[in-house]
Amino acid sequence: MDIHRLLAANHGIVSVRQLRQLGIGFPDSQDLVRRGVLSPVRRGWYRTPHWVDQRMLRAVTAGGALTCVSALDLHGLWTPPTAEVHCRRTTAITEPLPTGLIDCCPTGPRPLVQRSVDNLGMALRCAARCRSEEELIVLLDSALNLQRATRAELEQLLANEPRRVRRALSRLAPAESGTETMVRLRLRARRIEVRPQVRIGLIGRVDFLIGERLIIEVDSYEHHSRGAGYERDRERDQQLIALGYLVIRISYQQVLHRWHEPEATILAAIRRGDHYWRSHRQQG
């Protein structure tokens, strides 16, 4: 592996330890700095002079590695929005964190920081301690459904975590986005029997089916702009309605910030019995 591949594999920031493993000692690293291949970040760390993720740069500059939801977002998982940068540091670093950075670490001893970004397993362990149970399930669902980890691997990874974390593993289910996971958890907390990813004839899979005919579709972050996906989803909704289904579509903003609005609509439909065909036919 050459220096350029090493930088690419580590999102543009590498440690002196990693350079040494590549056979690049101090004189060579200084030569790379003079040639514009590397630029110092802090003692023991270098970066590419080209663009790097600013969250990662802030974490390394503060003496740590990007971790928890910040690292999981970089790894491609669906993550809840957050303005803070989650940083894992060792106990040897005593200087206070700058504003906007959160000190985040796993249960047990703090492992050494050897890379600029924690791997998936370490980032999930940090999230298990840092995030709410709902958010943790969202992250684990995403790892599972993106095939970044198997259920057995997640169980092994979190085997020594507190009961709250182990309980979260039993609540994983198919989902295409974190907003779907949030809706499923909240409806089941209301004791509503909801089935995820149900296939409806030739139309395809819907996010949730309640009873016989109440369909819940949930917009992910990518779908809250009015692009081709937006139009395609609305066409599907109309096809389902033409077949007699009742479709309630929940926006990304409603899931994250105004859950009471769709929740009230769903509960009202269930109270009327709209989720059953017989009620629909009686009304017709």
The pLDDT of residue 175 is 83
pTM, 2 dp: 0.87
Could you read off the pLDDT of 165-181 as tens digits, one per residue?
A: 989 999 998 888 899 99
Residues shown for the chain: 284
pLDDT at 39 over 70: yes
Residue 97 DSSP class: P
- Residue 181 vs residues 6, 142, 171, 197, 246: alpha-carbon distances, Å: 36, 9, 10, 11, 21
| CB-neighbour burial class of residue 39 (10 A; exposed 0-12, middle 13-18, buried 19+) | middle
Q: State the chain's mean pLDDT as an integer.
A: 91
pLDDT at 183 over 70: yes
246 C-beta neighbours (distance < 10 Å), count:
16
Task: Give the integer Cα–Cα distance in Å for 284 and 275.
Answer: 14
The pLDDT of residue 222 is 58
The pLDDT of residue 234 is 86
Tokens of 69: 């939801």
pLDDT at 106 over 90: yes
What is the chain's Cα-based Rg? Answer: 23
The pLDDT of residue 176 is 83
Could you read off the pLDDT of 256-269 as tens digits, one per residue?
A: 999 999 999 999 99
pLDDT at 78 over 80: yes
The pLDDT of residue 221 is 73
pLDDT at 8 over 80: yes
pLDDT at 63 over 70: yes
Q: Which residue segments constitute the domains of the chain, with CATH numbers given?
A: 3-52 (no CATH), 57-169 (no CATH), 178-283 (3.40.960.10)
- Residue 123 vs residues 18, 88, 136, 179: alpha-carbon distances, Å: 20, 9, 11, 20
Predicted confidence band at 45 (pLDDT cuts at 50, 70, 90)?
very high
Q: Under DSSP, is residue 204 helix (H, G, I), strand (E, B) or coil?
A: strand
68-96: average pLDDT: 90
Q: Under DSSP, is residue 172 helix (H, G, I), strand (E, B) or coil?
A: coil
Could you read off the pLDDT of 209-232 as tens digits, one per residue?
A: 999 999 999 988 755 556 667 788
39-49: average pLDDT: 94
Task: Give the integer Cα–Cα distance in Å for 139 and 79.
Answer: 6
Residue 82 DSSP class: -
The pLDDT of residue 70 is 97
48-62: average pLDDT: 94
The pLDDT of residue 281 is 61
pLDDT at 41 over 70: yes
pLDDT at 30 over 90: yes
